[in-house]
Structure 1
Amino acid sequence: MEEVTFDPGLIQAIFKHIWTRRALEREKNEGNDGTDCEVGTGTLKKTRTTSANSNALKLSCELLRIFITEAVQRSAMIAEAEGAGKIEGTHLERILPQLLLDF
């Protein structure tokens, strides 16, 4: 049985949103003085589009699935140790520093 994972289209849309926002912030911070930084033959940094191939999207989906599954499991262990019936934000806050170090 195949495990449920994130939709690659959703992850790609999130990535595109972040890439677009960062490009706009970079333009704003650099100022719009009309000088473009050349990156390669025939491409300009400001006009070049960023994309991800399908294998990278699948891998990103799997990494997110594993990360979230681990976060829920660790939070559930903390909640169970405290005798709580459900996971609360405080449980997630307690496991988050070590989880981020592990990933």
Structure 2
Amino acid sequence: METVTPQCGICKKFYSANDDDGSGLCKTCRPTVSQPLLKQELVQPGKFGVSNAQLIPAMKQAIQEQSPEQLRELKATYFYIFERSIRYLRKDEREYIKMHLGS
């Protein structure tokens, strides 16, 4: 039986099948306990990591679901990009964030 060498979903490097935990990420790209990977289906790192293009849809989804908890998690994990992404939201979305997070 032929073994398949897994490829990381973020950095695209191949890693050992012994290191595979089913996450699709190499040891370097796996999240640590202090920084969990949030909403993996929404926040997919791009070519240069997580940027406005990945974070804004996740923010809009959390606002649409009226989930301040998700917004807090996004802000805690991607603080710098979160603050820079707010300016690209609609006025009512910015007000929602300001009201629920005090930004």
Shorter-chain TM-score tier? under 0.3
Q: Which structure has the larger Rg?
A: 1
Instruction: Give me the TM-score of the superposition, normalised by structure 2.
Output: 0.21
Normalising to structure 1: TM-score of the pair? Answer: 0.21
